[in-house]
């Protein structure tokens, strides 16, 4: 990836942690950007105009200043529905990340 992706909402951060690759519980880090943030075109331009998820990206490093340990995830059914939807997009060839 060419960018570091960040969000300013707990819900979007929770989805990122829950859908991350790997085993075990995902992690949510609290970060400070060291450079300019721009709206994440993967969700803001076409899917959610106006950036309600407050999703951003940067080419610059971010400084980890903490970790949010006490967060509640979505239900297993919600996570599976999201995974199924993402897999369906991939099968259709439209699971593209504009990086």
33-45 per-position pLDDT tens digit = 999 999 888 777 6
Contact 60, 34 (CB under 8 A): yes
> Looking at the DSSP assignment, which residues form a beta bridge with residue 68?
28
Q: Is 26 exposed, middle or buried (0-12, 13-18, 19+ CB in 10 A)?
A: middle
- pTM for the complete prediction? 0.82
Domain boundaries, the chain: 4-92
pLDDT (tens digit per residue) in 32-87: 999 999 988 877 766 777 888 899 999 999 999 999 999 999 999 999 999 998 89
**The CATH homologous superfamily of the domain defined by 4-92:** Rifampin ADP-ribosyltransferase domain (3.20.170.40)
Which phi and psi angles does 68 have, rounded to 5°?
A: -85, 110
d(CA 92, CA 86): 10
């Amino acid at each position: 990836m060419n960018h570091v992706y960040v969000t300013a909402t707990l819900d979007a951060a929770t989805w990122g942690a829950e859908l991350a690759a790997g085993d075990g519980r995902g992690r949510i880090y609290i970060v400070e950007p060291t450079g300019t943030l721009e709206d994440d075109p993967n969700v803001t331009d076409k899917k959610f105009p106006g950036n309600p998820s407050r999703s951003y990206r940067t080419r610059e490093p971010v400084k980890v200043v903490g970790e949010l340990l006490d967060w509640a995830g979505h239900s297993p059914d919600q996570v599976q529905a999201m995974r199924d939807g993402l897999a369906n997009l991939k099968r259709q060839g439209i699971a593209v990340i504009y990086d």
